[in-house]
Structure formats: structure tokens, C-alpha cells
Structure 1
């Protein structure tokens, strides 16, 4: 079962992390700036103050 990541799928700061077991987690690069942004946000993300349109590493 895959979960729609919401805004993370189109965010410049997000990148998918694949575990050895095949699970996919979305890591927020903005979390490096402080606790305001969760490192692994609960999906789907429908609103985020740090959202910036861009390609994730999955889309590159």
C-alpha cells in the first residue's frame, strides 16, 4: 500500500527515503533549520509553511 505524500511530492525540500524492507519515508530538508518542521512529517501533508514548488530527488 502506498500513501500519497501530498505536498511533499512537489516540494523542493522533500526527498523520499527507501528502507531495506521497501518502505518509503519522506524526509523534510527544512527540518535541518529547526524543530518547526518535522523530519519525517505525517502523510499526506496538506499544508506546510515551508513548502516550495520544485522537483524532489525522486523527480530528478
Structure 2
């Protein structure tokens, strides 16, 4: 059986923490002039991954 490989795209997007995975918010790269300041402010920083998505990310990062 071949070695398990890490999904390189997922490795760039998710970071493992004690309580799950943290990730950046989407919709914050371009065409931001039409977005309200409040919305842009709320999309700053990182948040924890939803519990429903955790098994999929675990599978993609299994080689770590």
C-alpha cells in the first residue's frame, strides 16, 4: 500500500488546534467596495471549523 499523502490544499487552509481546526473566512479577497464595512470587519481573523466538516478535514490531513 502506498504512503498516505496530505492534501496540500487543505494543509494550506487549515491549522490544527487543541479544539479543532482554525481557518480564515471566505469572501474577503476582491470586489470589496460593494461590501459594507461591518461585513468586512466581521470577516477578519480566523474561526473554528464546523463540527460537521471535521471528519473531511481529518481525512485530508491524515498524513500529518
TM-score of Structure 1 vs Structure 2, range by shorter chain: 0.3 to 0.5
Higher helix share: 2
Q: TM-score, normalised by structure 2?
A: 0.32
Q: TM-score, normalised by structure 1?
A: 0.33
The structure number with the bigger radius of gyration is 2
